[in-house]
Amino acid sequence: MSSALPVIVLVLVFAWMIFTNLPRRGRTTSYKDADHKGVVIYWRPGCKYCMRLRTRLRFTRLRYHEVNIWRDPEAAAFVRSVADGNETVPTVTVAGRAMVNPSKTRLLEAVTTHAPHLAPGPRE
């Protein structure tokens, strides 16, 4: 029984990695179609920082769009333009203001300051 535990843990970790890398239904878009007056998260598959931020945002009511920079050259170019030529993700824009690798707290503070109409309300 104890020899099966490492295998189970590996399977769960692998499943978690796949789950957190999946695009969110209704949130995936392109750079061209994203709402640049709202919140846009630029990410790429396999990025642990993207996984962490996107997972933490699942527990908020924040409305946002996601753009995979590996599928959208225009989005990748935008990220390079605000990240000193690097494709550093997650890069997030709030009402057009870019932040490179923000924490959930920093992102929600920016939403409250620059796009208060999008700020998630308390859970009911």
Predicted TM-score (pTM) of the model is 0.78
Tokens at 18, concatenated: 């796949």
What residue has token string 């994203």? Answer: 34
pLDDT at 93: 97
pLDDT band at 124 (very low <50, low <70, confident <90, very high): very low
Whether the CB-CB separation of 114 and 97 falls below 8 Å is answered with: yes
CB contact set of 47 (below 8 Å; sequence gap of 6+): 89, 90
Delineate the domains of the chain, giving CATH numbers in brackets: 20-118 (3.40.30.10)
